[in-house]
Amino acid sequence: MAIVHDVMPVFELFQPTTVDDTLALLDTYGADAWVLAGGLDTFDWFKDRNKRRKVVVDLSGVQTLRGVKKTADGGLEIGASTTLTDVASEPLVKQNYRLLSQAAALVASPQIRNQGTLGGNVSQDTRCWYYRSGWTCYRAGGNICYADTPTAINREHAIFDANRCVAVNPSDTAPALVALDAQMVIRSSDGERVVNAQDYFIGPSTDITRMTVLQAGDLLTAIRIPATWANAEFYFEKIRERQVWDFPLVNIAAALKVEGGTIRSSRFVVNAVAAHPVRLGAVEDAVAGKPRNEETAAMAGALAVQGARPLTHNGYKIPLVRNLVKRAIRGEAQA
Amino acid sequence: MSTQEQTPQPSSSVTRRAFIKMVIASSAAVSASAYLFRGSTLVGQGSLPGAVERLMSLNVNGQLRRVDVMKQETLATTLRYKLGLTGTKLGCDRSECGACTVLIDDIPHYSCSVLTHTVRGRKIQTIEGLEQPDGTLHPVQQAILDEQGFQCAFCMSGFVMSAVGFLKTNPNPTREELAHGISGNLCRCADYDKILRAMMRGAAYMQKTTT
């Protein structure tokens, strides 16, 4: 149980109204600055006194970071500060990219979706409780992983790509965006760069203290979704213990292009199984050109979990991933 | 030296009583300024874009309230401890229970997880702002009274604000839709069946009053 203190420790607050002013502030304060969007991840850290910054830069006044618009290539650009409720209910998203609206609608609780942003949901930190409780683990700059010891409680932790740290990425929208080949627009005082969603998320082998490529001075301003997967056949499922609030034990986002019962191309992405959303490239390659039937589903399911390494208490995630992939191949009607 | 001569005499302008009063007053001023300025960890931030003034006006329940708000202060803290609106409850303080739910521009938010400075200029409604000036209860409140919808009712104000916010977007919900709409609130007494029955009745009352 969290200890309830009276108020958060002191910080200096800035509320810029333009992206340029925001970047100037991030530049001035560097690693002392914390970017605040919805705040649902942020305030836990501050209230628990496990992370602190001298300066908080609040994005709520930057209007240009909100809203959904069509792009020239027929895709969409979603402002990073667009709330999850808006992403879930926005007709432009619903029409062509139902995968993303479904994912956004399954995040946490109504009030959290009313406040939490798409940019925040994909940039949030891991939920590993050893780390979040302030233990000096690898991710916190120490030299041990408390979740990977003989007595550790690690039901929610990684089965793929662990490297010293076994924490997982808890985002629901992240796998949907990876499956849709989305691109993340990042700005800093050096200019703008665009990163594929798949490369936006990083594992402990790349940097054990970060979940994304964002560094001090960077600001995620928008998420672009190309027309590539518009109106493909989608499958999203989130497995969790209670149907509100909970982060996923495993979730899956799949997009398939099917012609005459044959899978032409596909994307399969699972999350909460590694520190980044895991794209199942082997499955995508193997099902291309195969009929969409039970045999293909069984083959894809088996392939999906190859190389998975369970910890003491999270072995259940292996059949879970296998079955979710099968269900994604069968499609919503037969799942 | 002349020290002896300058020692104030009881008969001089500063009396012992006045001197003690002076000391108390000046030390009070010193400690007050320490309180007021303890937030300023950075020098010269006033010139930077987006600098924030502590003194602000909050639009709460239709009233403009002037209030001195710390940078790190949450809306729940401001409402309860600065404005005396203790109908808003603090349960978990972590966006995990819903007891602190208020409406910001008609949308339910966990006030424990909103910085007060981010709602400047927006319309805040708490449980205290639901009843009419003549004391007539909001239909949802009346329905709870009629159904006796809660046990201990610590979670009630949060549930009511969630329901009122949800009913603005979906005034005629099914029981299932309403359950989903107010799923961001927990009841430790697990009295959900009665709560939902009361809220459904509230929705029905609202239909009656609007038609």
Check B70 against A17: CB less than 8 A apart. Answer: no
Mean pLDDT estimate for chain A:
96
Chain A residue nearest residue B41, CA to CA: A12
**Model confidence over A89-144: pLDDT tens digits?**
999 999 999 999 999 999 999 999 999 999 999 999 999 999 999 999 999 999 99
Q: Is the pLDDT of residue A240 over 70?
A: yes
- pLDDT, residue B102, reads 98
Q: Is the pLDDT of residue A55 over 50?
A: yes
B202 touches chain A (CB under 8 A): no
Check B113 against A244: CB less than 8 A apart. Answer: no
Complex prediction ipTM: 0.95
pLDDT range class, residue B24, cuts 50, 70, 90: low
Check B52 against A244: CB less than 8 A apart. Answer: no
**Model confidence over B63-94: pLDDT tens digits?**
999 999 999 999 999 999 999 999 999 999 99
Nearest-CA distance A252 → chain B (Å): 22
DSSP per-residue codes, A167-215: -----SHHHHHHHTT-EEEEEETTEEEEEEHHHHB--TTT-TT-SBS--
B139-210: CATH topology: DNA polymerase; domain 1 (1.10.150)
Mean pLDDT of B18-36: 54
**Model confidence over A11-49: pLDDT tens digits?**
999 999 999 999 999 999 999 999 999 999 999 999 999
**Model confidence over B135-157: pLDDT tens digits?**
999 999 999 999 999 999 999 99
Higher pLDDT, A333 or B89: B89
- Quick one: which of A316, A248, A263 has its CA closest to A108? A248
Residue B131 has which token pair? 């009843």
Q: Is the pLDDT of residue A229 over 70?
A: yes
pLDDT range class, residue A333, cuts 50, 70, 90: confident
Length of chain A: 335
Which residues of chain B have a CB within 8 Å of the CB of A14? 45, 48-52
Domain boundaries of chain B, sorted by first residue: 3-37, 139-210
Nearest CB neighbour to B50, from listed A9, A21, A108: A21
Q: What pTM does this model have?
A: 0.90
Distance CA A288, CA B116 (A): 52
pLDDT range class, residue A7, cuts 50, 70, 90: confident
Residue A171 has which token pair? 């985002």
| DSSP structural state of residue A165 | B
pLDDT range class, residue B38, cuts 50, 70, 90: very low
Nearest CB neighbour to A15, from listed B39, B50, B90: B50
Ordered structural domains, chain A, with CATH: 63-123+168-228 (3.30.465.10), 232-330 (3.30.390.50)
| DSSP structural state of residue A291 | B
Strands A55-58 and A183-188 come out as unpaired
Mean pLDDT estimate for chain B:
86
**Model confidence over B191-204: pLDDT tens digits?**
999 999 999 999 99
Q: Is the pLDDT of residue B28 over 90?
A: no
pLDDT range class, residue B16, cuts 50, 70, 90: low
Q: Is the pLDDT of residue B11 over 80?
A: no
- Considering only the C-alpha atoms of chain B, give the largest distance between any 2 of them, rounded to a whole number of Å: 93
